[in-house]
Amino acid sequence: MSFDYTPLFRNNLPAPAAARWGGFPKYSFIGGNNDAASVPVQPLLDALAKVMQRDGQQLATYGMNSGPQGYRPLREAIAKLLETNAHMPTDPDDMLITTGSNQGIDLVNDAFLSAGDTVIVEEVCYASSLSRLRYLGVNYVLIDVDEDGMNMAQLDQVLADLQSKGSQAKYIYTIPTVQNPSGTIMSVEKRQKMLDLARKYGVPIFEDDCYSDLTWDGTRPPTIRSMDDAGQVIYCATFSKSIAPALRIGYVVADWPVLSQLIPLKTDGGCGALEQMALAEFCNTQFNDHVAELRGTLKAKCDLMLSVLDEQFGTTAEIIPPKGGIFIWITMPEEVDTDKLAKVAAAQGVVINPGSEWSADPVSGRHRFRLCFGNPTHAQIREGVTLLAEICHEEFGVPLRGANVER
């Protein structure tokens, strides 16, 4: 290409894509990808065929005769699941269907945040949420994550300090159930304490609940929103982890004063109609059975990865077994730079998420990394983690416990 677009791009664009897509590496332990064999292909096909015969002509209108908030039968199906599984009675009219939970995060940020604003986040946190805040020029204050969730004494102190300076956080962002990346679950007591602090200081809570269907014991604590009677909690979730990432269907639940501000910001003409229609039918009849089976599949993969990590790293790697989800958060000795490890490992076909991407303080994350076990096969987990251990030994002198694997 001879034409130079460089002087025409706006100044604050994110960094360009490094390269065109070249396929997955041999051992891919990144992203929110899930178990391929667990995608309910035939049930979704059957659901789509049934609902298309019934409502297919509604494709003639934007919103499928349901308005800008999304396909009404899907909102009704989600409301039933939330009441049954999450102890959260929900009016379908208090819900907005989004293109994955990331669009929900973008809409909330667009409605609330300007450059220079302050948001409170967990010290280890969803990487895309952090990158969005950085891109917007928003200041974030980090709160430590304990084994049962965000440290409430620290949260209280941070909110008090902001108030003493005449400032206020725009919201508290939390992933209370199967926190990403730590895999922890916030206790009910801490949920109530967070809500009490939010009321005390007049700050909303933004509750990201993407992994709550995937707790190993099949139960989930009440959502923070379900404990709130003042409309102070904005809630988002997705089907990306419970059914399939590529479906790109999420949702936001909020009281009308918030939702009425989000709807005009959603200028895409509506989310994918076929996905919404198929999910509405599927959720009414098969969602819970599907998720129960998926949990068993993911738990087996998690147990295998934990076993191989123990075989290869022993006590060198500090791991708190996750209570659900699709990832394991690992802390290595200080001398292990996981940014460097990620680059070296990628060159040998093992892709990991370095901890600096998932830490509100990137420096503190430089000796941590995240491994996702949802998509790799059992053989890929065993071989890939073993190879990763060899690379850690070669690059950083980490003791190698396991036998070599053929490359």
- 257 shares its domain with 324: no
Per-residue pLDDT, 12: 81
Q: Please give the angle made by the CA atoms of 59, 61 and 66, to the nearest 5 degrees.
A: 90
Pairing of strands 139-143, 27-28: unpaired
* Length reported for the chain: 407
- 352 shares its domain with 232: no
Distance (Å, whole) CA 102 – CA 117: 20
- H helices present in 186-232, as ranges: 188-201
DSSP 70-89: --HHHHHHHHHHHHHHSS--
Following CA atoms 358, 362, 364, 366 in sequence, which dihedral angle do they give, to the nearest 10 degrees? 80
Q: Please, are residues 184 and 56 in contact by the beta-carbon 8 Å criterion?
A: no
Following CA atoms 18, 22, 24, 29 in sequence, which dihedral angle do they give, to the nearest 10 degrees? -10
- 341 shares its domain with 276: no
The whole-model pTM stands at 0.95
Q: Please, are residues 281 and 48 in contact by the beta-carbon 8 Å criterion?
A: yes
Per-residue pLDDT, 22: 87
- 76 shares its domain with 211: yes
**Would you call the peptide bond into 181 cis, given omega within 30 degrees of 0 as the criterion?**
yes
| Parent domain of 146 | 41-285
- 151 shares its domain with 233: yes
- Tens-digit pLDDT string for the chain (407 aa): 789 999 999 988 888 988 898 899 999 999 899 999 999 999 999 999 999 999 999 999 999 999 999 999 999 999 999 999 999 999 999 999 999 999 999 999 999 999 999 999 999 999 999 999 999 999 999 999 999 999 999 999 999 999 999 999 999 999 999 999 999 999 999 999 999 999 999 999 999 999 999 999 999 999 999 999 999 999 999 999 999 999 999 999 999 999 999 999 999 999 999 999 999 999 999 999 999 999 999 999 999 999 999 999 999 999 989 999 999 999 999 999 999 999 999 999 999 999 999 999 999 899 999 999 999 999 999 999 999 999 999 999 888 765 444 43
* Structure token digits, residue 322: 């996750």
Residues in CB range of 266: below 8 A, 6 or more apart: 68, 96, 98, 103, 107
- 49 shares its domain with 105: yes
Per-residue pLDDT, 340: 97
Within a domain: 329: yes
- H helices present in 137-253, as ranges: 152-164, 188-201
Per-residue pLDDT, 402: 52
* Structure token digits, residue 77: 């199906």
Closest C-alpha to 32, from 180, 212, 217: 180
Per-residue pLDDT, 128: 94
Distance (Å, whole) CA 333 – CA 370: 15
- CATH code assigned at 145: 3.40.640.10
pLDDT digits (tens, 9 = 90+) for 2-28: 899 999 999 888 889 888 988 999 999
Distance (Å, whole) CA 268 – CA 265: 9
Per-residue pLDDT, 404: 45
Per-residue pLDDT, 407: 36
Chosen domain end from 285, 300, 323: 285
- 240 shares its domain with 159: yes
Instruction: Report the side by side order of strands in the sheet with 353-354.
Output: 318-319, 327-331, 368-372, 353-354
- 279 shares its domain with 366: no
- 173 shares its domain with 153: yes
Chosen domain end from 285, 312, 338: 285
Per-residue pLDDT, 406: 43
